[in-house]
Structure 1
């Protein structure tokens, strides 16, 4: 059990069951994913994330205002701590050194970032920082662990701010800049592996790419339109896949953007019988996994456009998905 990516030849994918108060553990090491464990967590689990070494899984329980920390190296996997946070926790991110977890809390908590200290056993909630915003749908830590990027709006304007950037080199986050956006309702934030770009996608459509190293970050490119229901950045930071809201009675609509070249060009658009949902890339970027209703759908990303490689029935809907 020394390799958390594998256990008895298995490779793991995790997704949260919003209505089942559980996390499903799927073995994706074979041609078709299969369920190997179900872990009971808090009420209405949403976003979830693994640390860099894949030894821990952090699950935000939005309905019970808590975070569950799961040891993924044991058989079976088990919860090692559940910490109370503030009202309406949602977005979560882990720093590269695996010493801190950042969780955003929403309007009923007046807008705040919680920091969980992972250097002690059991982990503890170390600080609460009021922040510039109340609607948080995405967080990402820069690869050097110095900056935290948060998607959210101002306390008096939940539309126009697309990205807030915090210095996290100290014990509490310090606001560096809040960058005005071009689209409504920021939903996801990604930072590429080199830390050069920060990418924000929006619920009401669009992708903004920023120079993540600049102070304040500089908006470099804006593309896309349509209501976003899911997105994922490939591990190498080259491809961004966007899933758009399914028209009534229609197919799922998707676009793949090459974000290695700025400004962004036209995306590769394609359709699928499966409506978009929470999604994540495989470690090698060759597969994309998405929970669409009660189906875990695998896209072959080596095809142009991507094609459905397989799909298996699961218990949805999912609040989040990760590897």
Structure 2
């Protein structure tokens, strides 16, 4: 009678057999899109569970070996990520286990994790609040003793064009000149009534939904702090999109847009200044995209911390 152990021995494993006509080392081999639950603390001490998609890879340094042990990677990912809260330490350990399980085949390992994290955001004026789902991407790699960890997210905001605002103000001035005789006395009540009419806002600047994509490297021994990263970015921009909106909130948002006119260059520099002061970040990369309402193409700007060997100057975007 066969035991489970005997049956396993009899199962063929063609991956261990070399193909003499196809030899060569491979940069990365593994799996992408592994479905697994993860636990993530965004910095508020509340570890949320989320459904993630994971990529797990090692290199294949042996040109004479046909493939790697993908099932080993899968089981290591499932065991580690579904039971532990994500941290630099746990991800470092997971990558080490990748290499230990492939010590005769690989000397490099990498991992990517993508999911969404819900954060409750307050309304601008009213007592309401609502949920925002922020995408999270975590990428880690281990090459020898060099461990590299990056994580990123996106902040969606409104951007009002300064040039369009100036042109609109000029048209409003022209309309005012037409409607009020410069040689006649101007009554305060008449001006107030005019400002509240459609003529008082005969032109409006164009604004658009915009996206800031952030990618950061956390300093040694620092923890993931997604909420602080979001707060710093949204405060620097001044016009993040809202959740619950009553009329008083919409009015406050209109005021924020008028007080925060910005080109994409301005937005990138605002974020750069805010993140540059964060000692928990060793490097960062910012991509802002203003999805223009004036024309069909987007206005885009990039910024980074500018450290040697960091994100700066990594080729054409």
Bigger relative contact order, structure 1 or 2 (CA pairs below 8 A, ≥6 apart): 2
Is the shorter-chain TM-score for this pair beyond 0.5, marking a shared fold?
no
Structure holding more helix per residue: 2
TM-score interval (norm. to shorter): under 0.3
Structure holding more strand per residue: 1
So what's the TM-score if we normalise by structure 2? 0.27
